[in-house]
Amino acid sequence: MTTAKTLTETLQERSRVIEAGGHPKYHEKNEAQNKLFVRRRLELLFDDGFYEEDGKFANCQESDLPADGVVTAVGRVNGQTVCVMANDSTVKAGSWGARTVEKIIRIQETAEKLKVPILYLVDSAGARITDQLDMFPNRRGAGRIFYNQVKLSGMVPQICLLFGPSAAGGAYIPAFCDIVIMVDQNASMYLGSPRMAEKVIGEKVTLEEMGGARMHCSVSGCGDLLAYSEEEAIDSARRYLAYFPASFKEKPVKLEAVMPKSGRSLEEIIPKNQNAPFDMYECIDSLIDEGSFFEIKKLFAGELITGLARIGGNPVGIIANQPKVKGGVLFVDSADKAAKFIQLCDAFHIPLLFLADVPGFMIGTKVERAGIIRHGAKLIAAMSSATVPKISVVVRKAYGAGLYAMAGPAFEPDCCIALPTAQIAVMGPEAAVNAVYSNKINAIEDPKEKIKYVQEKQQEYKETIDIYKLASELIVDDIVAPSELRNVLINRFNLYETKELTFSIRKHPVYPV
C-alpha cells in the first residue's frame, strides 16, 4: 500500500530531478563558457534567493525535458514583487516547446494581473522544430509572447538579461523590452544565424559580427548595457529596478539624499570658450547624488548621454550632450537613443533633466539619406509629448534644431534654466557671420582688415544673443550660477512632483518611426 511518506518522498525526488536541469554534460558545457545554471541565476537575482515557482512539473512525463526548459517564478527584488521567465540552456539548449511557450505566456499574464515588473532571463536556441505545430502558429503560440510584451509595454517595467543566444523569432523578446543587458562573449541575438546567412545570401560572418553583445551594444543599439559577467548583469538589473515603480500606476521611490562626488566645481568644468570641449560626465557628477548614475546605451551614440540618476534622492532621467564626442552634434542614432529613453522615463513617472550643449543636428548627404529629419522628428515628438516634470538647462550653446531637441522654451519644459555661459541662437557667431556677410568678407583684400571685420561682426552677433537679453524677453525662466544649479534642480523637481498633464486627447499620434 502507498503511504503518505512514500508519496512525499516521490514528490521530493521528482522535484530534485527537475531542479537539477539537463544532463551533466550540458552543465559542464555551461561552466566551460562561464555560464551559471539557471537556478543559480535566480538565487542571485531574488532577495535572499527565495522565489515561488510555477509550472515546475511541465512536461514531467518526458525525462529529458525538466520544467520544459524554462523556469517561471514570482519573487522579490529590492523588496518589490517581480515575475521572472528564465530559460534553462541545459535542457535542449533552452529551446521552446509548447509548454515552454504556455509557461511564458502565463507568467506574463501574472505580471499584468499583479501590475509588477517582469524580467526575461534569455538563453535559448529558439523554437523546437519538432513542436512547431503546437507552439508556433496557434492563438496561444509563440507569437502571443510578443503580443503580450507589446501590451505590457509602459504598463510594467520589462527587463531582458541576455546570457546566451536569442535566436530567430526569439530575438523579439529583447527587442520589446525596456532595457537589454547583454553578457560579453556569450550573449547574442539574430534573426538568422551565421550558418544560415552563408547558405542563403552567401555572407560569411562570425557570430559576434552577426549578433554579438558588443556589436549590438555599440553598433545596432539593440543592446543597452554590456556586462562582463553574469553576476554583473544580474547586479545591474537589480540596480536598474531600484529607479522604477512596480507599474505605471505608482510613482518611483524617493531615497535619502546623498551629496555629489567631490571634484571640480561646475564653474571650473565649463570652459569660457564656446568651442572648447569638456566632459559632460564631470558636469553630471557635480549635480547628482554620488554613485547614483546608471547609464543606458553608453557604447552607442556617445555624442549623447542618457541615464538614470538621483538628485536629492529623487530619481531623474538625464539627457545630456557630450561635447567631447563629435562636438555633441546630434546624429540619427543619438536621436533614436534619446527618444526611446524619454519614452521609458515618461511611462513610469521619472522626471527628465536636459543638459544642453549642442551645435545642432548633423548635416550632409550621408545623414540625409539615413533619414536624420525623420529620426530627429522622432526625438522631438517623444520630448514634446512627455508629461513628466521636465527641466531644460542650457549649459553652454543650444543652436538651431538642437534647442528643440533638448526641450527648448517652445516645447513647454516646466522651466528653462540658463547658466551664465549659455548661448541660444539659430547658429553660432562664426557660422552666422559667414552666412550673412560672406560676399562682403570675400571682397576685403587686406587680411588684417578681413579679420578685424569678421571679429567686429561676430561681437555684434554675440550681443544680439546675450543671455541676459534673452532672459529680459522671458525666453529663459532663470539664469542660475553654476554653484547653485544642484539646489535649484532639487527644489524645482520637488515643487513639480504634483504635475498632472494630458498632452493631447486623441486615439493615438502618428509620429515618425
Claim to verify: residue 385 and residue 452 sit in the same structural domain:
no
Tell me, what's the pLDDT at 360? 97
pLDDT of residue 62: 80
Do 182 and 325 fall within a single domain? no
Q: Is the pLDDT of residue 168 over 90?
A: no
Q: For residue 247, give the H/E element and its range.
A: none
- Note the pLDDT tens digit of each residue in 143-155: 999 999 999 999 9
pLDDT in tens, 257-306: 999 999 999 999 999 888 899 999 999 999 999 999 999 999 999 999 99
Residue 1: pLDDT band with limits 50, 70, 90: low
User: Does residue 506 belong to any structural domain of this protein?
Assistant: no
Given 199, 225, 241, the domain boundary residue is: 241
With a pLDDT cut of 90, the percent of the chain lying above it is 92
pLDDT one-digit tens code per residue, 30-79? 999 999 999 999 999 999 999 999 999 998 888 789 999 999 999 999 99
222 and 352 in one domain? no
Residues 276 and 367 placed together within one structural domain of the fold: yes
Position 38 in a domain: yes
Q: Looking at the structure, do residues 234 and 297 belong to the same domain, yes or no?
A: no
What local confidence, expressed as pLDDT, does residue 453 receive?
93
Q: Which domain holds residue 354?
A: 266-422+476-495
Which band of pLDDT confidence, cut at 50, 70 and 90, is reported for residue 134? Answer: confident
**323 and 375 housed in the same domain:** yes
Residues 406 and 446 in one domain: no
**Do 133 and 271 lie in a common domain?**
no
* 229 plus 282 within the same structural domain: no
Cα 36 to Cα 231: distance, rounded to the nearest angstrom? 9
Is the pTM for the entire model greater than 0.75?
A: yes
pLDDT at 479 > cutoff 90: yes
pLDDT at 274: 85
Classify residue 1: in a domain, yes or no. Answer: no
Give me the CATH number covering residue 21.
3.90.226.10
In a domain, 254, yes or no: no
Residue 61: predicted pLDDT: 82
Sorted by sequence, the CB contacts under 8 Å of residue 137 that are 6+ apart come out as: 143
**Residue 63 in 3-state DSSP?**
coil
Please report whether residue 118 resides in a domain.
Answer: yes
* Distance of alpha carbon 15 from the chain centroid: 38
What pLDDT shows up at residue 2? 62
In a domain, 454, yes or no: yes
Whether 418 and 434 map to the same domain: the answer is: no
Q: Are strands 51-54 and 70-77 parallel, antiparallel or unpaired?
A: antiparallel
Residue 23 sits in the same domain as residue 155: yes
Strand partners, 272: none
Domain count, the chain: 3
Report the alpha-carbon distance of residue 118 to residue 73 in Å, rounded.
10
pLDDT at 72: 98
Quote the pLDDT of residue 187: 98
- Buried b / exposed e over 204-226, threshold 16 CB at 10 Å, is eeeeeebbbbbbbbbeebbbbbb
- Residue 60: what pLDDT? 86
Per-residue pLDDT tens over the stretch 3-36? 777 999 999 999 999 999 999 999 999 999 999 9
What is the tens place of the pLDDT at every residue in 278-290? 999 999 999 999 9
Q: Is residue 394 part of a domain?
A: yes
Does residue 202 share a domain with residue 111? yes
Q: Per-residue pLDDT averaged across 316-342, rounded? A: 98
* 356: in domain: yes
